[in-house]
Chain A
Amino acid sequence: MAKIEDLKEEARKLLREGKIKYVIGYAGASNGWMACPIFIKKPEDVEKLVWDPTCVHNLSRFLVDEKRRKEREKQPDKRPVGVFVKGCDSRAIVVLLQEKFIERNDVYILGISCENGGVVDEHRLAGKLEGKKPKKVEVGNKGQFVVTTADGKAEFPVEELLAERCLECRASFPVISDILSGEKLKRTVEKPFGSVEKMEGMPKEEKWRFWKEQIDKCIRCYACRSVCPMCYCDECVVDSINLAVSADTTAEEKADKVKWIQRSAESSENFIYHFVRAIHLAGRCIDCGECKRSCPLDIPIRFLNKKLEKEAKELFGYDVGFDPAQPSLISSFRDDDPEDFIR
């Protein structure tokens, strides 16, 4: 079983020796959920780190902030940062490396294997607890989830509480790490795209109705974009001032800038936003599910990305985020490509 103690010892040592700038990990939260991200700079604060099935966040996202911070500072501290990753999160780091957004020595990866578990889904947990508030979720000795509430402990089989993406997970342990806790248990997932296939089976009209209703709920808070480690563009097409404006840009140039998308949260604009994002993540999304989890209106955004992950797999035999040396999907082609236009 994954023991965070080994990783804590390593983190403490690295901080003490000044080999890393800080550690991004998980700590207890005060907002009703059990874990939240924490940034640790002092060895004595390492004690605050926790690891349990409520550590849902993909912390690799904060590597994007660290890169920006370094770019802004005149004399940046270039030491690596330590980051706790699950299997899925490690695949995001692989993509960041593959795209040369970060370099391998920018990061010290503290990997944790989910083994036969994963992280819990907030709604599924709430559904099981019928109004009671969870205080703690642990993995029991038989691999089951043990949930503590004010009324005591209750046990649930993992499948009943796991996030949907964990049920379709293809990396139960980190694919890249500097130190790893837990076993490299290979899991067999019978239907890695099962949830998308279910949706593909819907009649066209029903599918349209479903997505229209979902996308209409969007208030464009951009939590899905903001939480995503792959959404690191300097300028996003949806921001009202997009493309670099400098002191030399003339008024005419500014006025002539194409506005691809309006700020209004209306059907057509919301669709453009979500489709643009989905396309930009094709062959890049590693299904950490953070977009879906963060959405305050529960739009199942993950499906859009999962669909394109499936397309990449079926059309090009492309698996995202396993090998940093692999060229990215959209910047590579094969001589034996069946299509003419590419040659």
Chain B
Amino acid sequence: MEKILEKRSLQSWVKKLDSWTIYAPRKDENGRWNYGIVQSDSVGLDFTVTTLPPKPLIFPQREVFLEFLKTAGENQETLEVKEVLPGEKPAVILGVRPCDARAISFLDQVFSGDFVDPYYWARRKKTILVGLACLTPPWENCFCLSAEGSPHSEDGLDILLTDLGDRYFVKTLTESGDRLVNEAKALFKEPRPEDKKKVKAVHAQAEQKIVRAIKGAKKDVAAKLKGMFNSPLWDEESMSCIRCGICTYLCPSCHCFDINDEVDSASPLRGKRVRTWDNCQFPDFTMHSSGHNPRPDKASRLRQRIFHKFQYFVEIYDETMCTGCGRCISLCPVGIDIINVLHKVNDHGS
């Protein structure tokens, strides 16, 4: 459905949503935005880009899978194993940028298919995503359009809000979205024809304002990459890489993880099996237990990151695993720019 919500009614709406934990962007003392739990009277949507995407609210950096306890009886040992499934209250994430929501739709694909991940879906099914269309690029490195998204993309969202000055144009996209609006029906009005016209206009204008772009279609990049595994480009491009995990940990679509046992006590043996984010830029990523690592240097790690996003993922899901949020560009401490890297891929051998 399509509705209108006066901006001054935003907080009243949120107040009605007391069955959900509400997350929204908050600004810290250094001027950085990040999602946090908010009360209705402090909700606002006047933000740029959050340093961390909403990803960790659905796919947290640390997740307990199970707890184990081994006790020694007189004749035999017993091992108790208890599954731990996420049990948090349902949540609404308010103010999700369309690029970040699209990235969540990629995660949905990854955690489905042959192996449906119960931990991921326990949270995902209880999380409602309320997006905010970008009318001006929130920062200088946005390139969603050339990453096959758009500043008003609806992928992955339950509701898309568009700022029309004194009011939001509210478009619900799923049943969950409808439900959220129905919680405070009286606050939502029918849109006038001019509201609908204005939404179309501001969306079109927003597309014009995006400056940065990857030249070349995803198929071309993917095909080029196929023949570039042993290219010297990876050495050259990774010279200034410091091997930190910023590009990957702050990426809305990166999802590699590792599983470890965290032992709290040795006797009795008690502990937890946990999943934590993994990072292809780290020296122990894909380290074999023999000590051999097929990706021994930073060139092969940068290559892995590019190949996973623009080649392997395209082969499997027919999408590039990048939504053009620009975090890896803006936040790289040494200015490595994925757009430049991809342009060099495109120019390779031509």
Q: Which residues of A contact B (CB under 8 A)?
A: 29-33, 35-39, 57, 61-62, 65, 68, 72, 123, 126-127, 133, 219-223, 225-227, 236, 239-241, 244-247, 249, 254, 259, 262-266, 290, 293-294, 296-298
Cα–Cα, bound, A236→B276 (Å): 18
Complex Cα spacing A239 to B243, Å: 13
B residues within 8 A CB of A263? Answer: 258, 260, 274, 276
B52 within 8 A of partner (CB)? yes
10 more A-B residue pairs beyond the given contacts A72-B297, A247-B291, A297-B32, with a C-beta to C-beta distance below 8 A:
A30-B339, A31-B329, A31-B336, A36-B334, A37-B240, A72-B296, A123-B31, A221-B246, A222-B244, A294-B244
B333 touches A246 (CB 8 A): no
- Cα distance A65–B140 in the bound complex, in angstroms: 31
Q: B340 on the interface (CB 8 Å rule)?
A: yes
Whether A39 contacts B239 by the Cβ 8 Å rule is yes
Chain A residue at minimal CB-CB distance from B329? A31
- Chain B residues 184-241 with CB under 8 Å of chain A are 236, 239-240
CB contacts under 8 Å to A, within B276-299, are 276, 279, 282-284, 287, 289-292, 296-298
Beyond A32-B330, A263-B276, is A239–B283 a contact (Cβ under 8 Å)?
Answer: yes
Contacts of A221 in B (CB 8 A): 244-246, 249-250, 279
Residue from the set A29, A32, A247, A293 with the largest chain B CB neighbour count within 10 Å: A32
Q: Are A57 and B334 in contact (CB under 8 A)?
A: yes
Q: List 12 A-B contacts (CB under 8 A).
A: A30-B339, A32-B140, A37-B335, A38-B240, A221-B246, A221-B249, A223-B242, A227-B334, A247-B292, A262-B260, A263-B260, A294-B333
- In the complex, which of the residues A123, A220, A254, A293 contacts B333, with contact meaning CB atoms closer than 8 Å? A293
Determine how close the nearest CB of chain B comes to the CB of A228; give it in whole angstroms. 9
Q: Is B139 an interface residue (CB 8 A)?
A: yes
What residues make up the interface of B, taking CB atoms closer than 8 Å to A?
28, 30-32, 34, 51-52, 61-62, 139-141, 236, 239-240, 242-246, 249-250, 258, 260, 262-263, 274, 276, 279, 282-284, 287, 289-292, 296-298, 329-337, 339-340
> A227 — nearest CB in chain B belongs to which residue?
B242
Q: Which residue of A lies closest to B331 (CB)?
A: A296
* Minimum CB–CB distance for B343 against chain A, Å: 10
Is the CB–CB distance between B62 and A31 below 8 Å? no
A259 to B266, CA, bound (A): 13
Of the candidates A36, A246, A265, which one forms a contact with B61 in the assembled complex, judged by CB atoms under 8 Å apart? A265
**Chain A residues with CB under 8 A of B331:** 296
* CB of A270, distance to nearest CB on chain B (Å): 11
User: What residue in chain B is nearest A262 (Cβ atoms)?
Assistant: B262
| Chain B residues whose CB sits within 8 angstroms of the CB of A296 once the complex forms | 51, 246, 250, 331
Q: How far is the CA of A236 from the CA of B239 in the complex (A)?
A: 21
The answer to whether A62 and B141 have CB atoms under 8 Å apart is no
Rounded to whole Å, the gap between the CB of A24 and the closest CB of chain B is 9
> Measured between alpha carbons, how far is A61 from B241 in the docked complex, in Å?
11
Cβ of A253 to closest chain B Cβ, rounded Å: 11
Whole-angstrom distance from the CB of B213 to the nearest CB of chain A? 13
Measured between alpha carbons, how far is A57 from B298 in the docked complex, in Å?
Answer: 19
Q: B residues within 8 A CB of A35?
A: 335
Given A31-B141, A247-B291, check contact A264 B274 (CB 8 Å): yes
Closest 3 CB pairs of A and B: A36-B335, A226-B244, A223-B244
Q: How far is the CA of A83 from the CA of B318 in the complex (A)?
A: 44
Complex-state Cα separation, A138 to B246, whole angstroms = 29
Selected from B31, B141, B242, the residue in CB contact (under 8 A) with A32 is B141
Question: Are A219 and B282 neighbours in the complex by a CB distance under 8 Å?
Answer: no
Contact B291 A244, beta carbon cutoff 8 Å: yes
Partner of A33, one of B263, B276, B292, B335: B335
Give the distance in Å from the alpha carbon of A223 to the alpha carbon of B328 in the complex: 13
Tell me the minimal C-beta distance from A339 to chain B in angstroms.
36
Q: Which B-chain residue is minimally distant from A66 (CB atoms)?
A: B239
| A-chain residues with CB within 8 Å of residue B297 when the two chains form the complex | 68, 72
CB proximity of B339 to chain A, nearest CB, Å? 8
User: A33 vs B336: C-alpha distance in the bound complex, in angstroms?
Assistant: 11
Chain A contacts of B262 at CB under 8 A?
262, 264
In the bound assembly, the distance between CA atoms of A92 and B76 in angstroms comes to 59
How many angstroms between the C-alpha atoms of A225 and B333 in the bound complex? 12
Q: Which of A29, A31, A246 has the most chain B CB atoms closer than 10 A to its own CB?
A: A31
List the B side residues contacting A127 at CB < 8 Å: 31
CB distance from B198 to the nearest CB of A (A): 25
Nearest-CB residue, chain B, relative to A254: B289
Of listed B242, B283, B330, residue having the most chain A CB within 10 A? B242
Q: Which residues of A contact B336 (CB under 8 A)?
A: 31, 36
Write the chain A residue with the least CB distance to B28: A298
Residues in A with CB closer than 8 Å to B340 are: 30
Docked pose: A72 CA to B296 CA in angstroms? 10
By beta carbon, the residue of chain A nearest B335 is A36
Q: Given A222-B244, A222-B245, decide whether A123 and B291 contact each other with a Cβ distance below 8 A.
A: no
Q: List chain B residues, Cβ under 8 A from A293.
A: 333
Residue on A with the closest CB to B332? A31
